[in-house]
């Protein structure tokens, strides 16, 4: 089994759990932090799906697939992780890696569009 399917599947399942927690467990938090948390969960779900599908889209050993998968996995961890940390701690200073994660996600999409097999 390809690592992208495993990590994408586990990350997707986690995003469903984080979404449920956000809907029920964040009651009483400031609305701005709830929105940050929801953004992290939504981006994690979307990018988990594309991470799991990348081998089918690009082939198992293509350069585009390898680069895109690495970018998506890194971006999910950094961007969504930073969003969760900010929302749960209610401290925006812990979200400094979110832009790096966002650029990694953008890099994943660009590598699918530009790189050849």
- For the chain (length 117 residues), average pLDDT per consecutive 10? 91 97 93 96 98 90 91 98 97 96 98 86
pLDDT at site 60: 72
77, exposed or middle or buried, with CB in 10 Å at 0-12, 13-18, 19+?
Answer: middle
Structure tokens at 103: 């650029």
* Residue found under tokens 């198992």: 60
What are the CA-CA distances from residue 61 to residues 58, 66, 108 (Å)?
Answer: 8, 7, 16
pLDDT at site 62: 87
Distance CA 7, CA 47 (A): 11
What are the CA-CA distances from residue 51 to residues 9, 21, 73, 81 (Å)?
Answer: 9, 23, 7, 16
pTM (whole model) above 0.75: yes
Structure tokens at 81: 């992780």
């Amino acid at each position: 089994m390809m690592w992208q399917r495993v990590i994408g599947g586990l990350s997707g399942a986690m995003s469903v759990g984080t979404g449920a927690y956000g809907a029920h467990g964040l009651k009483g938090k400031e609305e701005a932090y709830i929105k940050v948390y929801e953004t992290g969960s939504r981006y994690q779900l979307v990018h988990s799906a594309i991470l799991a599908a990348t081998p089918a889209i690009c082939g198992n050993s293509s350069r585009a697939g390898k680069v895109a998968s690495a970018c998506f996995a890194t971006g999910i961890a950094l961007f969504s992780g930073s969003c969760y940390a900010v929302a749960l701690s209610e401290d925006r200073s812990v979200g400094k890696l979110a832009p790096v994660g966002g650029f990694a996600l953008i890099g994943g999409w660009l590598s699918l569009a530009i790189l050849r097999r």
